[in-house]
């Protein structure tokens, strides 16, 4: 069997399981197949500083990685080599320099672990400069339609569900509405799954613009039945319908604090409609941090091994994915095409409504 020398990098935001993918690639490719695997720091950026920010990865250097959150390679979403910030506000195309560095280091190709943005860069490197790439999808929001699930998502859902469990115990002692804001700018998957798993009374997702009156009605209806608390999970990208008066004093875009706005907007709309004490928790980066749950470790390991198999089979240009319960692959070109959002006819949405959850629209 031929040997190979390949690079591996992680791009975009963190997701629990990134290290487990890296470990699986190295354990298989280096430990079993005796290839060389070079870790590249901070997504494509590290390659531009080669060889300073490259690392020869070995099974030994990957010890203890399986359950560790984050990524040992570092990551960034500030590094499109086709449009690198030039320090003076403009951008420069450094993709040729990047391709040259990859060739100078003797790398046959790259395993690119990242979301649709990172995958698109990898594909463009392949198309423009002939650098072979294999993709491993990473999206904690689970919004990539080419794969049924990605590692990290179930871990994020577990974190959000645990938070809902905690809020339940304290909400039940008081007369109170508890809002939990979770990740999901464009797709409400985390909110939907965690809301079902954590027994939320209302789920607010970007796909369903909400009428705050319906949540107010839910709160009142619960009180009528002697339930003096309501738990609401809100995706960060959720927004009210037109016609809901937006409270003018809600803060927008204070530095990096804008993620707080979905829950705070809803809190304001609710307190205008019901005389109730509303408490807000913003999970933020707690969802990206921490080690992966067992499910995600298995999935990440499968993805890592499959990526090596793709290279072994010469299937450059493909991305691994989970499809109907099996780990297979698909051309990156087809994979990055479109987002998967919560469609109105999705079965879990119907299930959620069947157990009485209000979506506000």
| Residues annotated as catalytic (active site), given as ranges | 141
- Map residues 74-113 to x or -, x wherever contact with a second copy holds by CB under 8 A: xxx-------------------------------------
Euclidean distance between CA atoms 236 and 238, whole angstroms: 6
Minimum CB separation of residue 127 from a second copy in Å reads 28
Q: Does 148 bind a second copy (CB under 8 A)?
A: yes
Which of 50, 150, 146, 134 minimizes the C-alpha distance to 100?
50
Element containing residue 224 per DSSP (H, E): helix 212-224
The helix/strand/coil state of 118 is helix
Q: Does 68 bind a second copy (CB under 8 A)?
A: yes
Minimum CB separation of residue 360 from a second copy in Å reads 18
Interface with a second copy in residues 13-32 (CB under 8 A)? 14, 18, 23-24, 27-28, 31-32
Q: Does 266 bind a second copy (CB under 8 A)?
A: no
Interface with a second copy in residues 213-252 (CB under 8 A)? 249-251
Which of 112, 121, 203, 293 is close enough to bind a second copy by CB under 8 A? 293
Which of 99, 238, 282, 311 is close enough to bind a second copy by CB under 8 A? 282
Beta carbons within 8 Å of 70's beta carbon, 6+ residues apart: 14, 18, 19, 289
Minimum CB separation of residue 103 from a second copy in Å reads 27
CB 7 within 8 A of CB 105: yes
Q: Does 43 bind a second copy (CB under 8 A)?
A: no
Phi, psi of 57 (to 5 degrees): -95, 135
Minimum CB separation of residue 180 from a second copy in Å reads 9
Which of 170, 245, 246, 313 is close enough to bind a second copy by CB under 8 A? 170
Which of 286, 316, 333, 361 is close enough to bind a second copy by CB under 8 A? 286
Supply 198's token pair. Answer: 């954590």
| Beta strand 176-182 pairing with 91-92 | unpaired
Which residue carries 């494509």 as its tokens?
A: 44
Phi, psi of 123 (to 5 degrees): -60, -40
Of 131 and 163, the one with the shorter C-beta distance to a second copy is 163
Contacting range for a second copy; rule: CB under 8 A; set: 1-9, 89-97, 153-161, 330-338: 153-161
CB 181 within 8 A of CB 188: no
Q: Does 285 bind a second copy (CB under 8 A)?
A: yes
Supply 165's token pair. Answer: 């469990």
């Amino acid at each position: 069997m031929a040997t190979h020398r390949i690079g591996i990098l992680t791009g975009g935001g963190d997701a629990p399981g990134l290290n487990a993918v890296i470990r699986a690639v190295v354990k298989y490719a280096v430990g079993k197949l005796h290839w060389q695997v070079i870790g590249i720091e901070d997504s494509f950026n590290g390659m531009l500083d080669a060889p300073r920010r490259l690392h020869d990865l070995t099974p030994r250097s990957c010890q203890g990685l399986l359950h560790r959150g984050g990524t040992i390679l570092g990551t960034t979403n500030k590094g499109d080599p086709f449009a690198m910030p030039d320090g003076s506000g403009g951008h420069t195309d450094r993709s040729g320099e990047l391709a040259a560095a990859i060739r100078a280091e003797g790398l046959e190709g790259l395993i690119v672990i990242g979301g649709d943005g990172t995958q698109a860069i990898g594909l463009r490197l392949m198309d423009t400069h002939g650098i072979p790439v294999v993709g491993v999808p990473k999206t904690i929001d689970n919004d990539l339609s080419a794969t049924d699930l990605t590692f990290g998502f179930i871990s994020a859902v577990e974190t959000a569900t645990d938070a809902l469990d905690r809020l339940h115990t304290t909400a039940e002692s008081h007369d109170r509405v508890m809002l939990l804001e979770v990740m999901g700018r464009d797709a409400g998957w985390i909110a939907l799954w965690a809301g079902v798993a954590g027994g939320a009374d209302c789920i607010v997702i970007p796909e369903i613009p909400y009428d705050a009156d319906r949540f107010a009605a839910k709160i009142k209806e619960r009180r009528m039945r002697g339930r003096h608390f309501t738990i609401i999970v809100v995706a960060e990208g959720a927004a009210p319908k037109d016609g809901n008066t937006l409270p003018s004093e809600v803060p927008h875009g204070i530095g990096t604090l804008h993620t707080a706005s979905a829950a705070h907007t809803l809190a304001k709309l609710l307190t205008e409609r019901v005389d109730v004490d509303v408490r807000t928790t913003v999970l933020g980066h707690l969802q990206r941090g921490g080690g992966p749950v067992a499910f995600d470790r298995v999935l990440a390991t499968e993805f890592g091994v499959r990526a090596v198999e793709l290279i072994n089979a010469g299937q450059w240009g493909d991305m691994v994915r989970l499809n109907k319960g099996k780990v297979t692959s698909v051309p990156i070109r087809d994979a990055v095409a479109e987002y998967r959002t919560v469609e109105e006819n999705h079965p879990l949405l119907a299930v959620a409504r069947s157990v009485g959850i209000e979506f506000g629209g």
